[in-house]
């Protein structure tokens, strides 16, 4: 059912009353908390000072962490309050107060929505895992024996997570060609992307306690888009036997608007049937995925100079994943390790079944064998300096569509 807002441009924008994503924005003064509605941001501190919102964790907040720590009761209370204030039943005084707190979204700078405490990246896109197995270990079984028993992941670097539009410096590192006797040090020549989503946590657990998969909604607030920039040449040499290290930790970008699980609830769909059946801690009462459309856009420097719009090089859907948020979260805490408010968990690269639906350049170009054609006449295998990558995500179509906005980054030398 469509619910309608009195705020101009909100209905049907992807940022209507159904969405209400939270972020940290600035005009020319201090960063503060806001909610996106249509083409605007509403300054939440102003609504708190007017006593229209009673959750003071968001007052002059430089991150959403304290609000996230408050838990699902506070999350649902704020959502209900905002839907009432921005909806048709708001009083004249309430509308006046909201009008005073409105800022055009294209006039603000977005900051990191959370102060990331810990960062994990999973590997739960099974098509991606199969593709990388075929590319990196040809002739052997593409999936490792553990893949269908546990959500494989690694701990990444929280301090290297940046918000959309932060330039990405090409990393230097050790690379070794398969036939070379020794590695060399230099700029990565196989700089890649990974199309992912990431969930953000609220209340965590005490050390030694695990969290059951069916209780995930009490601990996970919602999702952002994530680009896990990856230096494949550095990765190929360093990852044995402990996994990714410097090939990933130079930068990871996220979208600025945090979309809640409550907003995504209408887009829950049945997940694929898992075979073999998961072990007890990974069994869920409802085995669900989220139907979220995703795309990757690439614009080279040459395209930008010629005014050629960014080209869509892949389209896929989040529902393609093998393990879902409940299983990833339950597995993470199954040994009693701690989760805190503001932890970030990448899903793993999201790839579909055929070329054109893959979530990384190493898959889209099949490690350089099939260069990706662009409208400028150029081609790409891996990223060149001056290339801009944007990831877009949205759920649904029509007036109740939920938009994630975008996560974007440009490669600099
Ligand atoms: Mn990744």
Question: For 242-253, b where at least 16 C-beta lie within 10 A, e where not — what string?
Answer: ebbebbbbbbbb
Whether the link from the prior residue into 406 is cis, omega within 30° of 0, is no
User: What are the sequence ranges of the domains in the chain?
Assistant: 22-111, 119-412
Distance between CA 348 and CA 248 in Å, rounded?
A: 13
Distance of CA 269 to the CA centre of its chain: 19
Are 396 and 293 a contacting pair, CB within 8 Å?
no
* Residue 12: both structure tokens together: 């049907």
Residue 2 pLDDT grade (very low, low, confident, very high; cuts 50, 70, 90): low
C-alpha angle 170-175-180 in degrees, rounded to nearest 5: 150
Residue 163 pLDDT grade (very low, low, confident, very high; cuts 50, 70, 90): very high
Q: Give the percent of the chain with pLDDT over 70.
A: 100
Distance between CA 155 and CA 160 in Å, rounded?
A: 12
β-bridge pairing 168-169 and 402-412? parallel
Identify the CA nearest to 404 among candidates 132, 106, 15, 65: 15
Q: Is the backbone of residue 116 left (phi > 0), alpha (psi -120 to 50) or beta?
A: beta
**pLDDT exceeds 80 at position 1:** no
Q: What's the alpha-carbon Rg for the chain, to the nearest Å?
A: 21
For residue 19, report the distance from its CA to the centre of ligand 1, in Å.
Answer: 26
**Residue 286 confidence (pLDDT):** 87
β-bridge pairing 220-227 and 191-192? unpaired
For residue 122, report the distance from its CA to the centre of ligand 1, in Å.
Answer: 7
3-state secondary structure of 252: strand
For residue 286, report the distance from its CA to the centre of ligand 1, in Å.
Answer: 26
Which residue do the tokens 């002059």 mark?
60
**Residue 398 confidence (pLDDT):** 86
pLDDT in tens, 28-53: 889 999 999 999 999 999 999 999 99
Superfamily of domain 119-412: Fumarylacetoacetase-like, C-terminal domain (3.90.850.10)
**Residue 45 confidence (pLDDT):** 98
* Residue 365: both structure tokens together: 């170009």
Neighbours of 156 (CB within 10 A): 23
Identify the CA nearest to 182 among candidates 174, 190, 194: 174
Tell the burial category of 354 from Cβ atoms under 10 Å away from its Cβ (0-12, 13-18, 19+).
Answer: exposed
**pLDDT exceeds 80 at position 294:** yes
Torsions phi, psi of 221, nearest 5? -80, -50
**Residue 320 confidence (pLDDT):** 87
Distance between CA 216 and CA 220 in Å, rounded?
A: 6
Are 192 and 230 a contacting pair, CB within 8 Å?
yes
For residue 47, report the distance from its CA to the centre of ligand 1, in Å.
Answer: 38
Residues with CB under 5 A from ligand 1 (ion): 121, 194, 228
3-state secondary structure of 404: strand
For residue 59, report the distance from its CA to the centre of ligand 1, in Å.
Answer: 34
For residue 120, report the distance from its CA to the centre of ligand 1, in Å.
Answer: 9
C-alpha angle 54-205-268 in degrees, rounded to nearest 5: 70
pTM over 0.95: yes
**pLDDT exceeds 90 at position 162:** yes
* Residue 322: both structure tokens together: 């093998």
Residues in the chain: 413
Q: How far is CA 254 from CA 279, 293, 362, in A?
A: 32, 17, 21
For residue 209, report the distance from its CA to the centre of ligand 1, in Å.
Answer: 27
Helix or strand (DSSP H, E) at 67: helix 65-70
Catalytic residue among 70, 111, 128, 155: 128
Per the annotation, the verdict on 128 as an active-site residue is yes
Torsions phi, psi of 133, nearest 5? -60, -45
**Residue 7 confidence (pLDDT):** 97
**Residue 178 confidence (pLDDT):** 87
3-state secondary structure of 128: helix
Distance between CA 234 and CA 123 in Å, rounded?
A: 19
CATH 1.10.620.20 fits 22-111, yes or no: no
Distance between CA 348 and CA 124 in Å, rounded?
A: 5
Distance between CA 349 and CA 133 in Å, rounded?
A: 13
β-bridge pairing 252-254 and 161-163? parallel
**pLDDT exceeds 80 at position 3:** no
């Amino acid at each position: 059912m469509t619910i309608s807002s009195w705020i101009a441009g909100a209905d049907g924008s992807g940022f209507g009353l159904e969405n209400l994503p939270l972020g940290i924005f600035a005009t020319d003064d201090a960063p503060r908390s806001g909610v996106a509605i249509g083409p605007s941001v509403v300054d939440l501190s102003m609504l708190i000072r007017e006593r229209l919102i009673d959750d003071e964790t968001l007052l002059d907040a430089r991150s959403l962490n304290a609000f996230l720590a408050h838990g699902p009761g506070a999350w649902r209370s704020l959502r209900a309050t905002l839907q009432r204030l921005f909806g048709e039943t708001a009083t004249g005084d309430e509308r006046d107060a909201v009008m005073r707190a409105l800022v055009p979204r294209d006039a603000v700078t977005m900051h990191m929505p959370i102060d990331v405490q810990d960062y994990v990246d999973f590997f739960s896109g099974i098509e991606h895992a199969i593709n990388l197995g075929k590319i990196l270990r040809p002739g052997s079984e593409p999936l490792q024996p553990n893949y269908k028993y546990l959500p494989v992941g690694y701990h990444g670097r929280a301090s290297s997570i940046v918000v959309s539009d932060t330039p990405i410096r090409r990393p230097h590192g050790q690379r070794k060609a398969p036939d070379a006797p020794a590695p060399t040090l230099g700029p990565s020549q196989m700089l890649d992307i990974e199309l992912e989503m990431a969930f953000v946590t609220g209340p965590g657990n005490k050390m030694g306690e695990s969290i059951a998969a069916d209780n995930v909604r009490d601990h996970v607030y919602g999702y952002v888009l994530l680009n896990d920039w990856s230096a494949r040449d550095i990765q190929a040499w360093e990852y044995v036997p402990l996994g990714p290290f410097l090939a990933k930790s130079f930068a990871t970008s996220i979208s600025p608007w945090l979309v809640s699980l409550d907003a995504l609830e209408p887009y829950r769909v049945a997940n694929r049937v898992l075979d073999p059946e998961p072990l007890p801690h990974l069994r869920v009462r409802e085995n669900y995925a989220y139907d979220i459309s995703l795309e990757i856009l690439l614009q080279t420097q040459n395209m930008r100079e010629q005014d050629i719009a960014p080209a869509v090089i892949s389209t896929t859907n989040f529902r393609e994943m093998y393990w879902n948020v409940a299983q990833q979260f339950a597995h993470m805490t199954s040994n009693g390790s701690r989760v805190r408010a503001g932890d970030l968990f990448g899903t793993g690269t999201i790839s579909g079944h055929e070329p054109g639906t893959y979530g990384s350049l190493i898959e889209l170009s099949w490690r350089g064998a099939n260069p990706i054609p662009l409208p400028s006449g150029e081609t790409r295998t891996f990223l060149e300096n001056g290339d801009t990558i944007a990831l877009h995500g949205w759920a649904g179509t029509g007036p109740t569509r939920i938009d994630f906005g975008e996560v974007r980054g440009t490669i600099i030398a």
